[in-house]
Structure 1
Amino acid sequence: MSHAALDDPPSSVAWRYAVMNFGLTVPAQASSFLLLYYVDGQKLSPTLAATVMACFAVYNAIDNPVIGYLSDRSRSRQGRRIPFIRYGALPSLLGFVLMFNAPFSGATEPWALVAYFAATWWLWETAGTALGTGYLALLPEMFRTYAQRTGVAWRMNAVQVVGLLIGLALPPVLAARFGWGVTAAAFAVISGVAIYSGVGALRERPEAQQTQSLPLLPALRATFSNRSFLTVVLAQTMRFVTTGTLAAGMGFYVKYTLGAPEGTTTTLLLATAFVVAGASLWPWRALVASRFGARTTLMLAFAVTAVSVSLLAVVDSVAGVWPVTAAFGVGLGGMILMGDVIMADVIDEDEVRTGERREGMYFGLSGLITTLSGALISLAFGWVSRRYGYDPTLDVQPASVAEGFRVFMTAVPIAGAALALLLLAFYPLHGQRLADVRRTLAERRAA
């Protein structure tokens, strides 16, 4: 394919690249049911299961930047990123299937089950990180202009919303009828088709392999000294704090604050947020992002999110939560649209500074740092539970619990959105500075 084609990929390439995101999303979301499968289904001790998962949370924080760094330094006839995708997808999906086909019982062979769980998770996690890192690292390389990046971003995230709904809603239903093993195998086949259907559309630029990659420590120093990166990745962490609080707290809010059954209601409320987010992606891109740029678009999205969740402080019925959740979905759409786009700008600026394309390191470290959001949400939940007297062993909770979960669902996401707005106010890569970066890169590529 010519350089001209690479500079201006057609819409079909953008769609094929985007559909691959479906294949990454479905297994990732379905893995949310691993505790249910191993503890409730395979009778593994909750303590042992939680220990395995905690260990792999630490492992995940380490392997993200390491695999990203290795991706940046890879050299092959197929490129730097494509081999990670081509050869990472199959073992990742195999590991996913094996995780849900455990041959041991926790009641009679607990340590064998723990070893099996850990081994299959290691395969899924390691190969999946290679696959995901290679995939994301290609976005700023294949789609070089802001218009191209926002164009593929709304497609990617629209597809991702479908994957989220399938990966979160269907597994319990299908597993009840066909079993977890068959369900996982079916999801793996569908995901594999989505991933490999796009591999043929992937392209890398030969010149990216001709630069000398920085050694690990200088690469880390160059990344962590990049103010643009630090402000963006911390703002992104606040995005996950905001959205994670909604997901983690909605069931408690519905049950204890509103006094309604939390099962189906909670699922439908969260689904509403995701569906509205998906529907708002194109309007965000066409009406806001194309006019105001990545930084301002993100700031507007965080502002919409903060205003919407603040209404939960006064809502007193499930009927009142529906429009609030829909408004939150609008803000979520803007946040997920611009996340990878603004990171691509940061990577472009790094190329101007270092002369290298280091997408793997940036996306890898971003994954490491944003995992902190889970710890922040857990700390906030623990504080609210203690402060307002929530005790899961009680048949009837004290009246203060209703107010506690109202605070959790409003104060935490508002604080996260406010901190993100403050960080983005100091984000340096906008206006003339961003224009200078784009002009410099254009001159280098034309030379």
Structure 2
Amino acid sequence: MANDLPDRATDLRVLRQDDWDQWYGNLLRAFGGGEESAEERELWHELADFDRSLGVWDGDRCVGSAGAFAFGVTVPGGASVPAAGITMVGVAATHRRRGLLTSMMRRQLDDVRGWGEPLAVLVASEPTIYGRFGYAPATFGVSAEIDTGRVRLSVPDGTDAVRLRYERPVDALDACESVYARTVPSRAGMLARRPGWERVWLLDAESDRGGASPLQCVVAERDGEPTGYARFRVKSQWTDAGHNGQVVLQDLAAVDPATDAALWRFLFGIDLTTSLKVRGRPVDEAWQHQVSDIRRCQLRVRDSLHVRLVEVGAALEARTYQAPVDVVFEVEDEFCRWNEGRWRLTGDAKGASCARTADAADLALSVRELGASYLGGVSLAALAGAGRVRELRQGALAEASVGFGSTVAPWLPHGF
């Protein structure tokens, strides 16, 4: 594909092995120039897919980068849909406002379409950047700082039957990965990962701990089988009045409610601590309904996974719908023109079909609204209330909004 760069002195090309150090160095500089441990740098080098990564070069200097991991993203109905996890996007400050980012996004989406992946997803460093390329926030995460000295947790029956044990994080890795794999189909937005990703959760540079302990791990089991885990750090703090330590949760997964409650109860009760800090958890997670005082949990909600439908028809066919839908969308997509036009979606809880049609449109919207609502966490009715979806047939909005919904909130379990 020919370069489409406004400055002909620059060259957009697929990343080569011997260009990695400069390519990655440009990325680190674009994100502030912080240092990384040799272990972390080596791991990202191993995880990178060079054939799916792009660089922009000005002479012999890398001035732009963009990568795309290969994931499976769980969609409503439980299917895992191939998706490009857009990552490592950066442009040198010396080369801003010259169209480099637009050129990389253009080439990247063309490539994703060529790879046969109907979705592209990303975590946005700045949400305002990616809307013009068709991405929209589709999942949200809750962060909290829970006053465990005052807040109590009520737990369901069966919690006491769950056994917990400390394990070294490296020794528990296989058990944790088996649990994670079992949870992937349970929520839209979760990621099925390629081998090697499990090592990311063991990175534990002292500079990243914020004064807390090395990473700790607790594994939950029932009848000798692992059913959950929590990985966390403890930050010891003391005042004249006594201990004031904090538990900092890295990640937690459980295959059933009793295991989930047992892990949260454990985190609430660690000796010499009075608070629990969590980040990016599901917005409907059970502990929020088990605490005695939600106000003392200081909840904050933030956008998480941004979704872009690369192939509208294939993407809408890949998920199911919690109520029957038969609706014609008039889709606008200025960046990927192949998606523009009318699409008839028919589907229910068993499956769906989506094909081009000449029938009159029922709803008019852009590909961004389809991306926002795709995983069931953002209502089409709410988007209509914001003026971003137009109802052209009375009743179509309610029908589509209910159908696109999800019984559990979509969630991105980790960044990339």
Greater RCO (CA < 8 Å, at least 6 residues apart): 1
**TM-score computed with the length of structure 2 as normaliser:** 0.25
Bigger fraction of residues in helix: 1
Bigger fraction of residues in strand: 2
